[in-house]
Copies of this chain bind each other. A is one copy, B any other.
Amino acid sequence: MKPTIYDVAKKAGVSIATVSKVVNNTGNISDRTRKKVMKVMQELEYQPSSLAAALTGKRTFTIGVLVPDIANPFFAEVARALENYARETGYAMILCSTDYQRKREQDYLELLMKKQVDGIIIATEPKDLSAFRKLQSRHIPFLMFSIDHLALPSHVVTTDDIRGGYLAGRYLLDKGHRRLAIIAELSRPSGRLRLEGFKQALSDQGIELESPFIIDAISKVEDAKLASQKLLHLPEKPTGVFATTDLIAVVFMNEARKLHVQVPGDISVIGFDNTIHAEIADPGLTTIAQPIDDLARYAVYKLLESIEKPEMPGHRIMLAPALVERQSVKDLKDQYS
């Protein structure tokens, strides 16, 4: 049987209170006693039950992480980064894929509350605001990750999507591109913001993005294919395309190749997210990198902060994305390329 604090106390000839103090490094314990207790703990391979500890008002040292789908490489990387920072601070992470379903979201939030997690990181667009209000009324700290939701007074840590779109646009312009198009996930806020930033960059140069050059797509292979084909069959093809996710960008490059349209020879492509897709793609995909590691660090630290001081008002932290240059964009001003 797993040894308990009583076993340790008995074997060491002290009270359980003393053992508890040794374990938690609190109170006054002589060096002699401390050593004796530690030795016994070693011998018994004693491990305090965090369950019991949590029941007495201590933390559970567990956080919940809600993502839409962990099988999506972007969220997999997010989860990995979050996990790293959580582990560093002694926290375990319960992973929850909501699959964009309201029911799953609700179920998971309930589960997390039952388990009394210390806090929750939400990286999925909320379907059910009332569930979140319940978190609030229960004083369970939570934080929106990469999702901005004005209705919720929680902390928010997100990439500056507008800026990302702007960067993409300006980069293409800098490379001499003027006839531009975008394939954007308009069904998602981040997609719309990226579009907005992109438009902004163009209008700063007096260029307007016309609606045939704005194509809506979901970031799934099939849908991205259709969108790509639509774009590739435009009577007047753009010279530069911004896809709001790497997956869309890579699928676009494949479709282009099938039609003997060279990338970047005939059309330049820029993606978003800097996932493994961008790295593997051929040519390497120039893309806007979300600062995933920084986002994760801020997220975990902010969450722990509001676990400690629950009354803190929610901050909104927006981190700048960065351009990662690979080979998918041609410099039109460079006649040798």
Contacts and interface: CB of A to CB of B under 8 A. Distances in A.
> Most chain-B CB neighbours within 10 Å: which of A134, A253, A281?
A281
Given A221-B279, A277-B280, A51 B94 contact: no
A124 interface: no
A69 B80 contact: yes
A258 B115 CA distance: 53
B115 A92 contact: yes
A303 B93 CA distance: 20
A36 interface: no
Nearest to A255: B282
Contacts of A40: none
Interface stretch (A54-62, A148-156, A161-169): A54-62
A47 B110 contact: yes
Contacts of A174: none
A94 B97 contact: no
A45 B134 contact: yes
Copies in the complex: 2
A76 B70 contact: yes
A233 interface: no
Interface residues of A, number: 56
Contacts of A115: 50-51, 62, 92
B92 A111 contact: yes
A310 interface: no
A6 to B, nearest CB: 14
Contacts of A113: 47
B110 A83 contact: no
A277 B277 CA distance: 8
A92 B94 contact: yes
A276 B73 contact: yes
A126 to B, nearest CB: 19
Nearest 9 pairs between A and B by C-beta? A254-B282, A76-B76, A71-B80, A95-B95, A50-B114, A71-B77, A92-B94, A70-B80, A71-B76
Given A49-B55, A70-B83, A277-B280, 15 more contacts: A50-B114, A51-B55, A51-B115, A62-B115, A72-B76, A73-B276, A92-B115, A93-B94, A94-B94, A94-B95, A253-B282, A254-B280, A254-B281, A254-B282, A258-B282
